[in-house]
Amino acid sequence: MRSPVTAVTSGARCPPWSRPGEALRLLIRGITVRACVPVAAVVGCVLSAINEGSQVASGHAGWLTWVRIGLNFVVPFLVSSYGYLTAARMPDRHPSQRAAG
């Protein structure tokens, strides 16, 4: 009988994690950058064109418009990173099992 495929055995590049703090550390270390920047670039361009395209094209883009354009790239990066990290999440063991090792 074959064992089920997990994130570790399937060749995933993201190390397994079980607690939110571990996921945050992986995000800060840049584990998600390579996989998630292309997604953020495409989605950010589409969102910027839809939401702020007319202001930029008409020449009426102020600093607030450029902040919004920046956020159009940050939000998809964070969502994509969340999905990438979720694929590597391992269930947290019960506290009594942690002590036993």
Report the percent of the chain where pLDDT is more than 90: 70
d(CA 60, CA 56) in angstroms, rounded, equals 6
Would 11 be classed as within a structural domain? no
Domain-located, residue 75: yes
Instruction: Indicate whether 6 pLDDT > 70.
Output: no
| Domain-embedded: residue 26 | no
Digit-coded pLDDT (tens) for 76-97: 999 999 999 999 999 876 666 5
- Token pair for residue 27? 């995000």
47: pLDDT strictly greater than 90 = yes
Considering the domain boundaries, does residue 62 fall inside one? yes
What is the number of domains present in the chain?
Answer: 1
**Where does the pLDDT of residue 52 fall: very low under 50, low under 70, confident under 90, or very high at 90 and above?**
very high
Is 59 or 96 the better-scoring residue by pLDDT?
A: 59
Determine which helix (DSSP H) or strand (DSSP E) holds 97, and give its type and residue range: helix 95-100
Residue 61 domain boundaries: 37-89
- Maximum Cα–Cα distance across the chain: 65
**pLDDT exceeds cutoff 90 at 99:** no
| pTM given for the model | 0.75
